[in-house]
């Protein structure tokens, strides 16, 4: 399995768009092994998405990202785990040992694209209302289901 982390220094970049380096890890027997690194393309998020698609990664892990970038990643077939924070080693180890569930323990505080982390507790929360207006009708129906 090949995972990619969008990094700034030795940590995940707070925003995908501010990443200075992409780190690629192979997971071998639940241990992350640094496979390679490459400077993040300086020509924008869509150049990064093209690079990720060409590399054939199994999962892309990053900090925050715009709704447009998330949609483009999903449309290109790149699986994304976003809104994660921590050192690159910490995140890679979490993924290698426990997958999405372990990485989700490193989730950044606050609201992400799916709304507030307090799914049922955020009724009337301004963030969830704002996000709901930005979604497609199908996604909006899913949000309203939890409100």
Dihedral angle sign, alpha carbons of residues 115, 116, 121, 127: negative
List phi, psi (to 5°) of 90.
-60, -45
What pLDDT tens digit does each residue of the chain (147 aa) get? 899 999 999 999 999 989 999 999 999 999 999 999 999 987 878 888 888 888 888 999 999 988 888 888 889 888 999 999 999 999 999 999 999 999 999 998 875 545 444 443 334 433 433 343 334 454 444 444 443
**Cβ–Cβ under 8 Å, residues 70 and 60:** no
What local confidence, expressed as pLDDT, does residue 89 receive? 96
Of 125, 126, 119, 106, which Cα lies nearest the Cα of 146?
Answer: 119
Question: Model-level pTM greater than 0.75?
Answer: no
CATH code of domain 2-104? 3.30.420.130
Domain map of the chain by residue range? 2-104, 111-147
What local confidence, expressed as pLDDT, does residue 53 receive? 87
What local confidence, expressed as pLDDT, does residue 111 receive? 57
């Amino acid at each position: 399995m090949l995972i990619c982390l969008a990094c700034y220094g030795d940590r995940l970049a707070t925003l995908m768009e501010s990443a200075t380096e992409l780190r690629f890890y192979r997971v071998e027997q639940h241990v992350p092994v640094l496979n390679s690194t490459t400077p993040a393309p300086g020509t924008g998020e869509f150049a990064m998405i093209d690079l990720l698609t060409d590399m054939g990664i199994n999962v892309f892990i990053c900090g925050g990202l715009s709704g447009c970038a998330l949609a483009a990643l999903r449309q290109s077939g790149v699986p994304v785990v976003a809104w994660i924070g921590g050192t690159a080693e910490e995140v890679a180890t979490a993924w290698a040992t426990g997958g999405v569930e372990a990485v989700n323990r490193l989730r950044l505080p606050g609201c992400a694209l799916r709304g507030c982390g307090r799914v049922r507790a955020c009724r009337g929360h301004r963030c969830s209302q704002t996000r709901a207006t930005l979604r497609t009708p199908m996604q909006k129906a899913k949000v309203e289901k939890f409100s």
